[in-house]
Chain A
Amino acid sequence: EAQVTQNPRYLITVTGKKLTVTCSQNMNHEYMSWYRQDPGLGLRQIYYSMNVEVTDKGDVPEGYKVSRKEKRNFPLILESPSPNQTSLYFCASSFDGYEQYFGPGTRLTVT
């Protein structure tokens, strides 16, 4: 089954403790993205990648890092999480940019 998977689905952590949210797709898509969704602000793009080793900032990249060492994986790294990064995070992938497939989401709480 074609899908985008994210882990963990739920995470509660403390300020400053580094964490990684993994994203993997099994569709051989070149394009992958990370979004965060906050009430009243909608979905905002954090980072995107157009291919292996090619990443670029989206609209809200501050406080986040990404890497794309393999085509299927696009982890999101929070080196020093803060409470304002409490949010619902979605990973997405696409073959050509027209139809993006979204993962189920990761709900992160930073206390």
Chain B
Amino acid sequence: DAKTTQPNSMESNEEEPVHLPCNHSTISGTDYIHWYRQLPSQGPEYVIHGLTSNVNNRMASLAIAEDRKSSTLILHRATLRDAAVYYCILRLFQGAQKLVFGQGTRLTINP
């Protein structure tokens, strides 16, 4: 399985944008980039996914590099409720069910 590399932790301030980076230099052409987050004492929660183009939804934006070797999850205006561990995951198109979680980035939001 292709691997992802994320910083162990990041810190930001409330109401400011947050850019969470992810490196995936061994990504293959059919790997989707997924982001999940896990709030304290909860199960993981889907955030966003993409293949080649940048994606936006109500929670976040996903910016994918042109060579697809890296991506960035953007929280446009962080709130205290966004404090969580964020996981960047590669998923094979054919492997519909397999998510391989890494260690993720622990995001702290300061009031």
List residues of A whose CB falls within 8 A of some B CB: 4, 31, 33, 35, 42-45, 48-50, 58-59, 90, 92, 94, 96-105
List residues of B whose CB falls within 8 A of some A CB: 32, 34, 36, 42-46, 49, 87, 91, 96-104
Given the known inter-chain contacts A99-B49, A100-B46, please indicate yes or no for A42 contacting B96, CB distance below 8 A: no
Give CA–CA (A92, B42) in the complex, Å. 13
Are A99 and B46 in contact (CB-based, < 8 A)?
A: yes
For A50, the chain B residues whose CB sits under 8 A away are 96-97
Are B96 and A45 in contact (CB-based, < 8 A)?
A: no
Chain B binding surface SS class: loop
Give CA–CA (A103, B45) in the complex, Å. 9
Are A33 and B44 in contact (CB-based, < 8 A)?
A: no
Are B104 and A31 in contact (CB-based, < 8 A)?
A: no
Could you show 6 A-B contacts with beta carbons less than 8 Å apart? A43-B44, A49-B97, A50-B96, A90-B43, A94-B96, A100-B99
Give CA–CA (A104, B87) in the complex, Å. 17
